[in-house]
Each structure stands twice: as structure tokens, then as C-alpha cells.
Structure 1
């Protein structure tokens, strides 16, 4: 029973990188780094060797070879070497009569890992290579231990024939398969989220291009009037002033659009939600006009400040407002209203539309990956937005009725400006 507990404990340690990945990268728009692989591998290796299984003092067995192989595949040769050196030093510190055999086993398994490394990366049959690696690790462990301690292995044959292969086979299969699945899912999510953002920006860009023509046409008309009557100083000054206002307004909208389309940076600062709402409304107004939807803003009288990433917050606003406008596109007198107020130390942003609405089943699935109420949508826009809101300590509530409309209430912790 004691050996069974130790075996289960080793399997748990094998899952440590997988668990930490899901905790640390859950709400991040990026995948694992080599630093993450180094830290998690070191932690996992230390725990596995500290609580290793053993039936004889000084001779211990654990999943350190699995961890080194994992570090090699996902971190590269340099990271794997660091983890290997750490495990060798710690094994030397633990001591016992099996120390030098353990060093020999680690050298042999690392050499095998290097031989399999390139083939594993290039192969589509990764499960086969994973199980082959587990088998080789078990044979090396058993063979070298028997060569140096034949009597010990003979007396504990069931342990070496069953426990060690299970540790290596199941440990390497669990860690490599689950971590690989998480990494591929994260890559797919990031790729789709980026594509969703590009699609949103392209729609807004098309409406902006249409809208920018209006002030340019006005400026062109005023320049012709000045050309026809250059002697009228008063009229010329008036036309130039109007033209400059139109150009500045267009420039401001284009500047904010370009800021929205830039790659996001990981930073958090105190931002004014009222200011952000006005900026995004100006950017989204052409898109609303193109879809014959009224875009109304009822901002709070005083600054409403929250802790957030301004770029990510703008993108969240764009996603919600774009969805609301599209929901009203087929509605007569479509209207999207944005309102902001403070309630119980929270900043509440309400986005309401009179569009097609949703039923209870659709509401429950909102924010889940790949669910969308649009026939051509992926749902990644709202999934990304929900993640961002939760990262900033906020929450989202939805109320909707089919053919009546939808109301999103986004709640953020209010931070009093200093």
C-alpha cells in the first residue's frame, strides 16, 4: 500500500507542469515560455526526488528522467541541461549507495533523450515516440541497477518489473499528452482571437473609409469656394476654419483606430472609462452609420476610473459595441445605447440594444469558446472579452429576449483617482 501511495504521488508530480500551465496562462494571450518550462520542471523534479519511491535505503526511483525529457522537448537543449545538472546535484546531496548508479542512469537516459529529440519534434506519431522513450527509460533503469546491485534487484523483482515501468510509461504519457493538448489549444485560441480582431478591424476600417470621405468632400468643396473667390477674406477664414476642424476630427478618429489595431501590451494602469467610451464611440460611429444604427452615449458626469490595460479595454468595448450594432442591423430604427454609472464602489457599464436578442440557451453559452449567434462568427471576440474582464477583476451579466434586445452589464472595481 505504501508503494502504491508513492506511485500515485509520482504521477501527481508528473502533472505539475500541466496544472501550473492551466493556472498561469489561463487568462493570458500568449503561450508558454522557456522560463516557465525551467521553473516548473525544476519544481516538479525537486518534489519527485524528495518524495521518491524506494524499498532500500539509498536506492530511489522517481520520474526525474521524464521531467528532463519534458524540459528538452518544450524548453530545448539548454533548459534540459540545466534541469539535468540540478537533478544530478540534488541526487548527490541525497546520497546513498545508489548515488553513482543514479548518475550513470541519468547520463544514459539524457543521451537517449537527445537521440529521440529531433525525431520526436518532426514526427506526427508523437504518442509512439513517447511510449518508446518510457520503455527505454525503464530498461536503462532496470539494466544498470541490476548490473550494479543484482542481489537487490532479484529480491525486489516485482517492484522493479511493475513499479518502475509504470512510473516511466504512465508518467511520460500523462505529462506529454496533456501538456501538448493544452499548448495546441492555447495556440489555436490565440490564432483565432487574433483573426477575430483583424476581422473586426477590417469591418471598422471599411466603415471608416466610407466616413472619412465626407469630411474630405467638404474640405474639397471649401477649397474650391476659396479658389473661386480668393478676395473674400472673411469667407476664406471661415472656410479654412471649418476645413481644419473636419481634418482634425478625421485625424483623431484615424489615430484611435490605429491605436486599437496595434499589438496588445501587458500593462495595467488607472484609466478613465468615460474618456475611453468617447474615444471608442467616435471610432465605431461610422460603422453604426453604415448599418443605420443609432449609437447613443450617456456618460457619467465625473471621471470613472478603473485599473485596466487601456488597449485591451478599448478592444473589449469595440467587440461588445460591434456585436450590438450587428444585432440591430436588420431592425427598423436600430439603437445601441451606452451608459456608465457608479454603484457600491463598482463602475457599471451598460451596453443595450434593441436587436434580435437571444434565448436562455444562447445566453448560457455566451463567452464559451467557438460559440456565436452569428452564422459566420467564431465567438472568439466575446471569449477574449470575457477573459480580459475577468482578468481585471470584473464580471459580465446578460439579460436578453428574442426580437426585443439585449443588455450587457459589465462591472469593474471602481478605483478612486488620487
Structure 2
């Protein structure tokens, strides 16, 4: 009986990990498929073609990194922290999601209140968080609309502040209480792992996520990151 319980727990864990992997790998795959479709247009110019191919290459590298992360579960994980210009990271991420948003009649605007903000982060993981938030915002705006991404810096707390604001369906107070829990989703076909993983990534970087939302009005996700790395990794 004990062996059966252990085997059952192993299968359950394997199922959870498989679901998480499928969820996280879906975003870069969706971007790659969309860009390949654009590359097949007969009137595409060489510069645009090269730009799309560069993005596809980077997204394939991200899939490789995700695969390595899941293959290394259970082992101590060291973040690939390096100096990063957050402004450039956000611009690149917005550019990646922008075409997908336009297909849903959604415009993404980026506001930078500081010329340049640098800190030490794992770029791939922070990019993963931003894509999750932008994709959630797109999914919440079935009638189209506008997403605003802004970058600022709090001098008193020495924290980088990134806001992702939408005017979508919003959430109730009860839904907000469960937003960071695994397998909780407000989407009809949502898996409920994207935000849970995002919270873990930001907290592991010494930061935090705060959410404000009003039902039928929209949601605002605010990421706070330290100006400098507070830990070497986990």
C-alpha cells in the first residue's frame, strides 16, 4: 500500500510538472508560429525578414532554457544574473507581443519615466513574467482596447517599478485573493500556472507583485524589483 501511495504521488507530481511545462512553452511557440506566418508573405522586405528571424532565434533559445529548467527540477538552480537595461528588456518584450495584440484589436503603449534603469536579473525569467502578464491582459480584453506598460523608479525604496495596466474584464475581490495560487484561473480554459510561476520568479529576485483590479473595469499588475541583486540564487 505504501509503494502504491508513493507511485501515485510520483505520477501526480509528473502530471503537474508536465502541465506547467506545456503552459510555459506555449507562449514562445505562439510567437514563433505567428512570425513564421508573417515571413511567408510575398511582400516582406529583407530587413523585416532578418528582424523576425532574430526574434525567432531568441525565442527558440528561451524554449531551450525552459526545457533545461524543467529537466533540472529538484536540483539547486542558479539564476543567470547579469547587468540588464530594463528599458531595453521591456521594449523587446512589447515588440514580441505587439503583433499578437493587434490581431485582437489591442494596442500596447509603453511609457518610460526614466531614461535608463539597470539592475542584475535573469533576463529570460523576467521576460517570461512580462509575457505572461501581457498575454493575460490580452485574454481579458475580448472587445479590444489598450494595454499600458510603464517603467519608473522609487528613489526612497530603491526599487524598479513596472506596471502593466489593461481595461479588460477585471477581477472580483474573491478572485484577487486566489490569483497567485497554482491552478487557479479566471479563464474558461486557463491552466492557472502562469501567474503562480511569475510570483515565484519575482520573489526569487527579491521583488514582489501587487495587483489592483475592478470587475468590468480592468486590472493593474505592478512589479517591484530591487535596483541591485539581493541574493545570488536559489
Answer yes or no: same fold by TM over 0.5: yes
Tell me: CA distance 1:319–1:371, structure 2 relative to 1, closer, same or farther (3 Å). Answer: same
Per the alignment, in what secondary structure is the counterpart of residue 43 of structure 2? helix
Question: Does the 8 Å contact 2:24/2:194 carry over to 1?
Answer: yes
Report the Cα distance in structure 1 between the residues aligned to 2:174 and 2:197, rounded to whole angstroms.
Answer: 20
Task: Go from structure 1 to structure 2 and tell me whether the alpha carbon gap of 1:355 and 1:212 turns closer, same or farther (over 3 Å shift).
Answer: farther
Aligned runs of 1:155-194 on 2, under 5 Å? 187-194=14-21
User: Deviation at 1:296?
Assistant: 1.2
Tell me whether 1:331 sits opposite 2:143 in the alignment: yes
Higher relative contact order (CA 8 A, sep 6+): 2
Q: Distance in 2 between matches of 1:305 and 1:358?
A: 33
Find the residue that maps to 2:148 and give its secondary structure: strand
Q: Give the TM-score of the pair, scaled to structure 1.
A: 0.48
Selected match of 2:183 from 349, 370, 380: 370
> 1:341: which partner in 2?
152
Whole-angstrom CA distance in 2 between matches of 1:306 and 1:184: 40
| Aligned-residue offset at 1:318 | 1.1
Query: Aligned to 2:194, which of 335, 359, 381?
Result: 381
Q: Are the structure 2 counterparts of residues 400 and 263 from structure 1 closer, same or farther at C-alpha, using a change threshold of 3 Å?
A: same
Deviations 1:366-402 (A, max 9, x none): 1101000111111111111111111001101100111
Match of 2:95 among 256, 265, 282: 282
Where do 5+ consecutive residues of structure 2 fail to align?
A: 70-77, 230-234
Q: Which residue of 2 aligns with 1:35?
A: none
Matched, 1:252 2:54: yes
Q: For 1:363 and 1:315, how far apart are their aligned partners in 2?
A: 21
Instruction: Tell me how far 1:184 sits from its aligned partner.
Output: 6.2
Q: Which residue of 2 aligns with 1:395?
A: 208
| 1:321 partnered with 2:134 | yes
Q: How many residues align?
A: 215
> 1:185 Cα deviation (Å)?
6.2
1:144-163 equivalences under 5 Å are: none
- How far off is 1:188 after superposition? 4.2
Residue pair 2:162, 2:224 contacting (<8 A) in 1 also? yes
308-317 vs 363-372, which moves further: 308-317
Larger radius of gyration: 1
Q: Structure 1: 5+ residue runs without aligned partners?
A: 1-124, 129-175, 220-242
The one of 197, 202, 205 aligned to 2:29? 202
Residue 247 (structure 1) shift: 2.3
Q: CA deviation at 1:260?
A: 2.7
Matched, 1:304 2:180: no
* Matched position secondary structure for 2:211: strand
8 A contact 1:398–1:409 mirrored in 2: yes
Shift of 1:291: 1.4
Tell me how large the CA RMSD over aligned residues is.
Answer: 2.4
Structure having the higher strand fraction is 2
Shift of 1:186: 5.1
CA–CA distance in structure 1, aligned partners of residues 203 and 186 of structure 2? 22
Distance in 1 (CA, whole Å) between partners of 2:150 and 2:214 is 20
Aligned to 2:2: 126
Using the TM superposition, give the Cα deviation of residue 189 of structure 1 relative to its aligned residue in structure 2, in angstroms: 3.8
Change (3 A) 1:184 1:308: farther
Q: Is the 8 A contact 1:268 1:309 kept in 2?
A: yes
Deviation (angstroms), 1:305: 1.9
C-alpha distance in structure 1 between counterparts of 2:38 and 2:54, whole Å: 13
